[in-house]
A and B are shown apart, each in its own frame.
Chain A
Amino acid sequence: MLVTTNTVWQWLGEIPDPEIPVLSLTDLGVIRDVHWQEETLVVTVTPTYSGCPATAVINLDIETKLRSHGITNLRLEQQLSPPWTTDWLTDRGREKLRAYGIAPPVRETGAPSASKGRIARLTGQSDVVVACPRCGSQDTEKVSQFGSTPCKAAYRCRACLEPFDYFKCH
């Protein structure tokens, strides 16, 4: 008797992201599909950033988790298209990020309309407004486009003066 894919999704929802452990892999939106191909469980995963060092760890964690539940016949497939976007983060995941002190990505700014930011800057328009996850103030500024991991940018709050990470749009 094969376990249902719903159960598998539930197990996958218990695996923390290696770099931001408050998020699960399902919160992150990187699991694209789970299905049985006859006796083999196929899990389709999409990478967040192409050079993300966590990708290999994520795959290993999935395999370890499923094996611990007795699934030995399994295959992981990588799917590049459509490319992962921060718009796929679940609401639950966004809330967990904020509670953890990381500002969640501003919605629908991760869509693939390239060089939008540069054009906005060259034409003098301001960037998206990122609210401070600590005090909620919108009076914040970008310190660096990249933070402690490829998925984050470094910000500072001008109201409460705390620095914070912003899960950048992608």
Chain B
Amino acid sequence: MTDKNDHIANDVLFEWLLRRGDTALVLGHRVSEWCGHSPVLEEDIALANIALDLIGQARMWLGLAGEVEGKGRGENELAYLRDAWDFRNLLLAEQPNGDFGKTMMRQFFIDVFQMQMLKALQGSTDPRIAAIAAKAGKEVAYHLDRSADLVIRLGDGTPESHQRMQTALDELWSYTGEMFASDAVDRAMAEAGLAPDPASLQAEWQATVQEVLTDATLILPESTFAHKGGLEGRHTEHLGHILAEMQFLQRAYPGATW
């Protein structure tokens, strides 16, 4: 495949690729904040490893986004030289870590979504997208295995861990609807056979989440209200702080290399 896709405008494809890459990058950065702070050493190592996988996936998506855009920007320029309004990540990914339970609940929600999305993307008509999805899908399956397990163990654990997991669920629930709110970019991608319409993933997502939460003895909130905007560049106040930290070196010393 060349850099010109027959069925879709490059800017639409670019926009969609940023959503994949930015969500992985921002979540990867968030998870990496646990490094040195986890409740036990094994969790510290596990979270650092998961962060590494996510940042690796972000590199693949952003690398391809840069190629598609064709303006000479690569993964580094896209990660370090854009401001908050140019980021296209899910609002859920930028939410603060909170306690360990909240981090796990956030991870679980995104893992289930990623898992389904990446599975569907392996059938993309663009072989580059299919290849990244196959690679990332194996890692996300492993992450999901772990996050689902921990949500169950903590939810169905002590009164204290149960309460914390229920609080995490209640706090984060309103950020999950954004994953399935399709817009023109999603519809164009779906029509071109490049990606699934995320709305089509919602029922299965909800069923898997419900299954795990039932085992975890947690109660799904009834509200269907969804915070949106991240995929169009309207973010919560938290993203600016992430970028300030992540992009410090490039901002202070533009073009620095070593």
Contact = CB atoms under 8 A, between A and B. Distances in A.
A50 B59 contact: yes
Q: Is the interface of B mostly helix, strand, loop or mixed?
A: helix
Interface size class of chain B, counting residues whose CB lies under 8 Å from the partner chain = 35 or more
A122 B145 contact: no
Nearest to B57: A50
A81 B121 CA distance: 13
A112 B137 contact: yes
Given A82-B134, A83-B134, A146 B215 contact: no
Contact of A112 (B43, B138, B145): B138
Contact of B135 (A53, A83, A145, A168): A83
B188 interface: no
B52 A150 contact: yes
Contacts of A147: 45
B42 A154 contact: yes
Interface stretch (B124-132, B169-177, B220-228, B243-251): B124-132
Interface in B52-74: 52-57, 59-60
A146 B50 contact: yes
Among A50, A116, A145, A170, chain B packs the most CB atoms within 10 A around the CB of A50
Contact of A117 (B50, B119, B139, B145): B145
Interface in A32-52: 47, 49-52
Given A80-B132, A81-B134, A170-B138, A49 B56 contact: yes
A118 interface: yes
A168 B46 CA distance: 13
B42 A118 contact: no
A50 B135 contact: yes
B85 interface: no
Interface in A122-167: 122, 143-150, 154
A115 interface: yes
B46 A49 contact: no
Nearest to A147: B45
A2 interface: no
Contacts of A75: none
Contacts of A154: 42, 45
Given A80-B60, A83-B134, A83-B135, A121 B149 contact: yes
A120 to B, nearest CB: 9
A114 interface: yes
Nearest to A152: B49
Among A52, A80, A146, A150, chain B packs the most CB atoms within 10 A around the CB of A146
Among B52, B55, B134, B212, chain A packs the most CB atoms within 10 A around the CB of B52
B187 to A, nearest CB: 26
B211 interface: yes
B45 A148 contact: yes
B234 interface: no
B145 A121 contact: yes
A123 B130 CA distance: 30
B46 A81 contact: no
B42 A146 contact: yes
Nearest to B112: A115
B211 A122 contact: yes
B55 A81 contact: no
24 contacts: A47-B56, A47-B135, A50-B57, A51-B28, A51-B52, A52-B52, A81-B131, A81-B134, A110-B138, A112-B137, A112-B141, A114-B137, A114-B138, A118-B148, A121-B145, A121-B149, A122-B212, A144-B46, A145-B146, A146-B46, A146-B49, A148-B45, A149-B49, A170-B142
Given A112-B141, A145-B145, 4 more contacts: A47-B135, A118-B148, A121-B148, A144-B46
